[in-house]
Amino acid sequence: MTLEPTAGLLGVLAALLVLVVLGIGLAAWVRRRRVRSPEEHHVTSEGGPDVARWIDEGRKLFTLWQERIERLSELQSQLAAMAHEIAELQAQVGRIDALRDELRRLREETERVRSERDALRQAMSRIVELAHQRKPPA
């Protein structure tokens, strides 16, 4: 039971991760296409400035991905803690339900004992009344 919300959230996070990866890949592809078009940008024969820029962008992307992976790890640990907390709360709810059932049973038993007590009181009252009626006046 506790794994269903966790699995669903992990599925959503995985889907978001795939979308982010596809977006970054598409952005990189668009950048490469722009760099290759002769009217927008001149590619040098040595490739010095362009290669350095690509390396710098690669480093930035790598750093960004490291940060996102760390954040994802934090979120996973938070999810695990939440799943544990949910399991504890469900156990407490189970104990509360058991206590309610016991209380209901005790109330029914109390009502039964009261009925018996009232019946016994009535019987004793009737016995006392009959005893007074049979008793000869002194």
* Sequence spans of domains, the chain: 3-134
**pLDDT on residue 22:** 84
Structure-block tokens of residue 86:
């949910």
**Whole-angstrom Cα distance, residue 62 to residue 18?**
16
Render pLDDT for 18-49 as a digit per residue (tens, 0 to 9): 888 888 888 888 887 776 655 444 444 455 67
The two three-digit tokens of residue 134, written as one number:
């049979």
Q: Name the strand (E) or helix (H) holding 18.
A: helix 3-36
Of 13, 135, 19, give the one whose Cα is nearest residue 73.
13
**Per-residue pLDDT band at 15 (split at 50, 70, 90):** confident
Q: Give the integer Cα–Cα distance in Å for 2 and 90.
A: 9
